Amino acid sequence: MERMSTKKSAARTEEPSAEPRWLTEGEQRVWRAYIHATTLLDDTLDRQLQRDAGMPHMYYGLLVQLAQAPGRKLRMTELAKNMKITRSRLSHAVARLEKNGWVRRQDCPSDKRGQNAFLTDEGFEVLKGAAPGHVSLVRKAMFDRLSEEQVRQLGEIMCVIADGLEPTGTGADLPWLR
Amino acid sequence: MERMSTKKSAARTEEPSAEPRWLTEGEQRVWRAYIHATTLLDDTLDRQLQRDAGMPHMYYGLLVQLAQAPGRKLRMTELAKNMKITRSRLSHAVARLEKNGWVRRQDCPSDKRGQNAFLTDEGFEVLKGAAPGHVSLVRKAMFDRLSEEQVRQLGEIMCVIADGLEPTGTGADLPWLR
DNA sequence: TGACCTTGCTTGAATCTTCAAGCGTTACTG
DNA sequence: CAGTAACGCTTGAAGATTCAAGCAAGGTCA
């Protein structure tokens, strides 16, 4: 947005509709590596959890969130925020998990619009059964292959990226994902 | 990992089938940051491309691959390998892109089983139209927020992870994704 | 040649995700 | 306290992905 009064000789190109700043060779390599690694890793985790626990990675994440929450329950919107997904997606997902008997919905007493997702005992058992294999795979795929220093770097980098994507700042939230 | 950290229950387990090695506090933080960042970034890119070009991120990637290939065409399996996706997924995707007129299939002369995916002129135009906005978003979300050093680190880390996931070693390929 | 395995790609059904729209409930405002 | 906006969540349809199964062409070996 930059209303260019008069052009300075600065090479700092940011002209609104001019040639965009393409990625350099090096950046392209990094970007491709990022896409490849994340694609492969996500697919790998999905397949393992589908095989061992009958659910995709994201659904496993939902159970983990609930298991860690006080009372093993969480408001839907809260859960959606924690997982960085839309309410709609969550709604469908919980419907499926409920069908499996792993989660139950309960009305929120303080707000009649609200729903709590509640992790059932059965769901907790399934989670306990799936966790070791999952953690082991995450280790094998990531933590066992990186140095301590690299793990630290990765954490730092991912936080920077995530922060840029959520306006998590002064209360200005994404409209919980549109 | 973890030498003098005075962890409480630091039973340095290494037993084969005993309690699995859970993630440490720090590892958990990194893992969550990774999941959050990748989820948010992927969603962001998907939405932008869906809005600006009428296709998800992966489909855009397919067009890029084709555009860079000699003759703007690639064998299906080759394309699937480059994109790290299953042949089945590619088949469906190309069917959709073909319906849009962005891509065309053509028989491979040397192998009657083979198909080439070919990027049409129209597809190329769509790609040219979408590219600047996409690159700009990738920059804003990732490269503009990281130091040069961090970009280097990220590339290194992602290569390590990807390498661990594809047996790309001595010719032992994944059965092109199962 | 024929039996048999492999390769390259496609298909349909089941599942998952997205998008826009919708329905009650709650909060704000004059 | 009605009118209206915002919130919390759900729904259905369209699109995308996965999985297992399938088909035809190529390769191997007798």
pLDDT category of residue A12 using cuts at 50, 70 and 90: low
Given a cut of 50, whether residue B171 has pLDDT beyond it is: no
Instruction: Give me the mean pLDDT over the B170-176 stretch.
Output: 48
DSSP class of residue B117 equals E
DSSP class of residue B106 equals E
Instruction: Give me the mean pLDDT over the A27-46 stretch.
Output: 98
Cβ contact, residue pair B43, A143, below 8 Å = no
DSSP string, chain A: -----S--S------TTS---PPPHHHHHHHHHHHHHHHHHHHHHHHHHHHHHSS-HHHHHHHHHHHHSGGGEEEHHHHHHHHT--HHHHHHHHHHHHHHTSEEEEE-SS-TT-EEEEE-HHHHHHHHHHHHHHHHHHHHHTGGGS-HHHHHHHHHHHHHHHHHHS--SSS---SS--
The pLDDT tens digits of the residues spanning A120-139 come to 999 999 999 999 999 999 99
Judged by C1' against the alpha carbon of B39, the nearest nucleotide is C17
Question: Which residues of A, range 81-140, sit inside 8 Å of B by Cβ?
Answer: 83-85, 131-132, 135-136, 138-140
Select the more confidently predicted residue: A3 or B41: B41
Query: For chain A, what are the domain ranges?
Result: 46-144
Distance in Å from the first CA to the final CA of chain B: 34
> Chain A partners of B140 at a C-beta cutoff of 8 Å?
164
Looking at the domain that runs over A46-144, which CATH code has it been given?
1.10.10.10
Checking DSSP bridges between strand A103-107 and strand B115-119, what pairing results, if any? unpaired
Whole-prediction pTM: 0.89
Checking DSSP bridges between strand B103-107 and strand A115-119, what pairing results, if any? unpaired
Q: What is the pLDDT of residue B11?
A: 52
Instruction: Give me the mean pLDDT over the B34-50 stretch.
Output: 98
Cβ contact, residue pair A40, B158, below 8 Å = no
* Separation between the CA of A71 and the C1’ of D19 (whole angstroms): 37
* Cβ atoms of A166 and A175 closer than 8 Å: no
Instruction: Give me the mean pLDDT over the B46-58 stretch.
Output: 97
Query: Does the CB of B168 have a partner CB in chain A at under 8 Å?
Result: no
d(CA B34, CA A161): 9
d(CA A5, CA A2): 9
Cβ contact, residue pair B23, A165, below 8 Å = no
Looking at the domain that runs over B31-147, which CATH code has it been given?
1.10.10.10
The pLDDT tens digits of the residues spanning B85-106 come to 999 999 999 999 999 999 999 9
> Chain A partners of B34 at a C-beta cutoff of 8 Å?
142, 154-155, 158
